[in-house]
Chains A and B, each alone.
Chain A
Amino acid sequence: MTGASANLWEKLQAIDRRILYLLLLAVVIAPLFLPIRLPTVTMPSTQRLYDAIESIPPNGFVIISATWSGGTRAENMPQTVAILRHAMQRGLRVAVFSFDVQGSQLSLNIARKLAAEYGYEYGKNWVHWGYRPQIGVVMKSMVRDIPGTFDKDYDGKPTKDMPVMQGIKDIQNVDAIVEIAASGIYADWIGLVVGANPKLKFGFCPTSVMVPETYPYLASGQIVGTMEGMRGAAEYENLLRKPGLASVGMGSISLAHVLIMVLIVIGNIGYFATRTRRSQ
């Protein structure tokens, strides 16, 4: 092996990080301007969440918790849009709130936009309970008393007399809870709330990195279905026949994944070639 080729193998293992950054930037941005048409395969977990929402009778009551912030907006926003759209398409009563102060505002903006699109009237068809600190205490008290726990909406108005809240006393009156989060908050829901109503459907929309840890709960049925990151949101948009942000982002996500794999392979080719040369 010549010195030049040996140098090449070593270079393959040490590509300048600025080149890597530029490559990533290019593969993320390019598909946004030159969309790539890719087939969508719906995963069973996404289908299960969709079916769960579909099975709720009209005028059923769904709680959507948007515990996410700007940091995970790319994944959690399309999920929030998709689940809210589905609930509103089906004419369900929707209550939105957040354990994150940013998530409260972001979900309010999304809900307002979709409510206008579907003719949902605030207070009658949907309500926003605002930001709620103290995850554990809120969950424990909402099991027994929802109007008492969420006595005011995001604007400080009393919720008790809102038509959307009529007949909602405790967790037994709730058909589904969907948590959209970038954290392990699903464990709190399962531990404190889900078991209190055997008929309650609990869906979870995590960021992609959190997907593997949800599988034991999917298998046990404690999580009825998931929307796995942006890919899950794209699948859901496909099921709703309303392509949105997630569907657009799939090209960028795909190419970024391919780039990472190609780079790992290149690095390993260099590593093996260098090791072989040394052993000779």
Chain B
Amino acid sequence: MLEPIVRFFSPQPPAVLPYYVAGAVVFSILVVILLINLPSRARKPLIAIVTFLAGLFYATEFFLPFDKATQKNILTDYLVPASKLGSLLGGMTLTLGILSLLRVHGRNIVRLRAGWYNSLALLTAMVAMVVFGLMEKYGTNSTAKKVFNVLFEGMLINMDATMFSLIAFYIVSAAYRAFRIRSIEATILMAAAFLVMLAQVPVGLALTAWIPRDSALASLRLEVIKEWLLTVLNAASLRAIAFGLGVGGLAISLRIWLSLERGAYFEKEI
């Protein structure tokens, strides 16, 4: 039934590929224009229908019994095309995000608002990364490849690491200022934290490494205490939290799937 559609969306020979790409771009633009011009009262039902159908596909595929020989049901073969459609939609949302960034920060620059130079740095970095990224992927210019490497591996990855590393300094400062034994609960928490922290590093483990593993005192070795804390006390409480989250997640998923969710985002006029 869905075979012609699947064939249409399958990889095409290079000779016709440009026509497919052009057609997809034109089609996407038309769809976006159509959606923008839809009256507000028509948008919500449309979103509700699309959301329901998308969720229904995965739910039905999951619950429909499989044929024992092929381990498939009638929808199984369409999982991959569906995943590709999901990726395409993800790509389109990325475009929306870029357009939004350009609009917000472009306005900051044009009107020379406070901190406009930050907006300029953001857009310059974004454009440079896109241009050199595309040249690196599809071009043959070796300089462009080197520039991309400097931008991506030399700058982006290292700046990311630097930003994350700064957290360590704040953690030290915050732990020192905030960790006060003001109650029994805080004392228990600190004792557990110290034991786990000590068992997390070799210098701590070395403190009890002299206790033979097969002796009666083996349960006093730090790694054993840590293992007990994490596998018994910690795991039990995490299971309880995970169970609560799971039930809550199921409820929220159902509400979103059936478009029953209410709140600032879902009731906002779009």
Is the pair B80, A20 in contact by a Cβ cutoff of 8 Å? no
Interface footprint category on B = 35 or more
Say which residue of A20, A134, A264 sits within 8 Å of B83 (CB atoms). Answer: A134
Residues 17-43 of chain A, each 1 if its beta carbon lies under 8 Å from chain B, else 0: 100110110001000000010111101
Asked if B218 is at the interface of the complex by the 8 Å CB criterion, the answer is: no
Query: Which of A1-9, A56-64, A113-121, A253-261 faces chain B?
Result: A253-261
Asked if B153 is at the interface of the complex by the 8 Å CB criterion, the answer is: yes
Min Cβ gap B134→A in Å is: 13
Min Cβ gap A95→B in Å is: 17
When A216-B239, A263-B172 are in contact, do A138 and B90 touch as well, CB less than 8 Å?
Answer: no
Residues 163-177 of chain B, each 1 if its beta carbon lies under 8 Å from chain A, else 0: 111001101110111
> Main SS of chain B's interface residues?
helix
Interface residues of B in 163-198 (CB under 8 A from A): 163-165, 168-169, 171-173, 175-177, 179-181, 190, 194, 197-198
Interface footprint category on A = 35 or more
Asked if A208 is at the interface of the complex by the 8 Å CB criterion, the answer is: yes
> Main SS of chain A's interface residues?
helix
When A40-B202, A133-B90, A212-B230 are in contact, do A263 and B156 touch as well, CB less than 8 Å?
Answer: no
Interface residues of B in 80-96 (CB under 8 A from A): 80, 82-83, 86-87, 90-91
User: In the complex, which residue of chain A has the Cβ closest to the Cβ of B230?
Assistant: A215
Min Cβ gap A251→B in Å is: 8
Contacts of B202 in A (CB 8 A): 38-41, 231, 234, 250, 254
Residues 75-115 of chain B, each 1 if its beta carbon lies under 8 Å from chain A, else 0: 01001101100110011000000000000000000000000
Query: Bound complex: CA of A10 vs CA of B18, how far in Å?
Result: 73
Asked if B255 is at the interface of the complex by the 8 Å CB criterion, the answer is: no
Is the pair B180, A71 in contact by a Cβ cutoff of 8 Å? no
Contacts of A163 in B (CB 8 A): none
Query: Which of B27-35, B39-47, B204-212, B259-267 faces chain A?
Result: B204-212
Is the pair A264, B176 in contact by a Cβ cutoff of 8 Å? yes
Min Cβ gap A15→B in Å is: 7
Give the top 7 A-B pairs by smallest Cβ distance, nearest first.
A70-B160, A71-B164, A70-B157, A38-B202, A137-B83, A254-B203, A141-B83
Beyond A231-B200, A257-B203, A258-B201, 20 additional pairs, beta carbon < 8 A = A20-B169, A20-B172, A21-B169, A23-B172, A102-B156, A105-B157, A133-B91, A137-B86, A137-B87, A144-B80, A148-B80, A212-B234, A213-B238, A215-B235, A216-B239, A216-B242, A231-B201, A261-B197, A263-B175, A268-B181
A-B contacts, 7 of them at CB < 8 A, read A24-B169, A39-B202, A39-B206, A71-B160, A134-B83, A250-B202, A263-B172
Residues of A within 8 A of B (CB): 13, 15, 17, 20-21, 23-24, 28, 36, 38-41, 43-44, 69-74, 102, 105-106, 109, 133-134, 136-138, 140-141, 143-145, 148-149, 151, 208, 211-213, 215-216, 218-219, 228-229, 231, 234, 250, 253-261, 263-264, 266-268, 271-272
